[in-house]
Structure formats: C-alpha cells, structure tokens
Structure 1
Amino acid sequence: MGMDEIWARLAPDTQDWLIANNGDAIPADIAAEIDELVDATGADEVWAFAPAAPATGSLDPDDVEDADGLDDEDDEPGARYLAEEVVDWIEEYANDEDGGGTPARD
C-alpha cells in the first residue's frame, strides 16, 4: 500500500507535518500511525532504508553511506525515513495548484 492510498486516512496534523518536514526523519508517533495503515506487503513502498548506527568508535559517521550511495550528514542513526518516491509524491501533492488533488504515481 503506497502513500497515495493512505494519505486521506492520515490525521490532518500528520499530513501537515509530513508536508512541512518532507524528507526528514519521521518521529516515532507518525511512524506508528503510518505503520498502522500500511500492511506488511506495502511497507517497502513507503519506508526507505534507515542507516544503522555504527558501533561506537568503529566508523566516522561522515564515512558512512546511505543505501543510495550518498553521504548524508543529516541522517539520524536508527531513524526511519520515507522512500524517495513517497517524498516526491508528498512534494507534488503539496505543490499541486488545485490545493489537494492527488498526484499520480509512476
């Protein structure tokens, strides 16, 4: 189940937070709300790889790469992030000139 299928079922405050903080680490309460709406088969469509925290002192965090191969100093170890396609969907939704139409998914 993708974001286009659960968006309308999210609380308005959650939608507002996701738009305002698009691409940021997802707080536990919002992640739990999304998890309740996404069944196990659709979770891969919503959640991105979350970088694991390296063992203390084993790696310089600046040397750790994300699943996409890019260094990202803003990633929070152990945090959960939305998949890039979902981030793009939310951005398109937020920028929709009609102010609320649902963007098409690729």
Structure 2
Amino acid sequence: MRIEEWWPRVDPSTQQWLINNNGDVVPPNILDQITAVAGAPTADASWVGETAPEGFFLSDEAIDWIEETANDEVSEDE
C-alpha cells in the first residue's frame, strides 16, 4: 500500500507526528499504527526506508511526500 493510500487512514495525531518529525526515526507506536492500516513493511513498499540500529526510517520518497502534504503541495492527481 502506498503512503497516499494509508495516510488518510491513520489517526490525525499520527499524521501530525510524522509531519513534525519528518525524516526522524519512526518510533514503534507510530510504526504500529501505520502497519495496522498498511500492512507489514516490505522492501517493495515505496514508503519503507531503511532499518538502522537507531530504528525504522521512512523512504526519501515518503519524506518528500509528507513535506509536500504538510505544505499543501500535493496535486489532486497524485
């Protein structure tokens, strides 16, 4: 599932955390909320970044999309 599909299905507080902390390690409670609607992160999911010793990261594509969404830059056809 793409970020565009799961984004409206997560809690507004989760969306706000992702906007406020865009690019940071995604804490387990936020990742749990995402995976509850999007399913487990898989390597082919465009929103999945790397898992490092610090934790889970969203992909650069997802980070850019969140920034655009936060700035109301996402077009209707995206």
Q: Is this a same-fold pair by TM over 0.5?
A: yes
Deviations 1:65-99 (A, max 9, x none): xxxxxxxxxxxx240001111000000000116xx
The answer for the alignment partner of 2:72 in structure 1 is: 96
Gaps of 5+ in 1: 52-76
Contact 1:14 1:30 in 2 (8 A): yes
Identity %: 39
Gaps of 5+ in 2: none
TM-score, length basis structure 2 = 0.83
Secondary structure of 1:91 counterpart: helix
**Max Rg structure:** 1
By percentage of residues, which structure has more helix?
A: 2
Secondary structure of 1:48 counterpart: strand
TM-score, length basis structure 1 = 0.63
Contact 2:18 2:66 in 1 (8 A): yes
1:39 positional shift:
3.0
Verify: 1:38 aligned to 2:38, yes or no: yes
| Equivalent pairs, count | 76
Q: 1:15 to 1:21 in 2, by over 3 A?
A: same
What root-mean-square deviation, in Å, do the aligned CA atoms of Structure 1 and Structure 2 show?
A: 2.2
1:45 positional shift:
1.9
Give the counterpart letter for 2:31 in structure 1: A
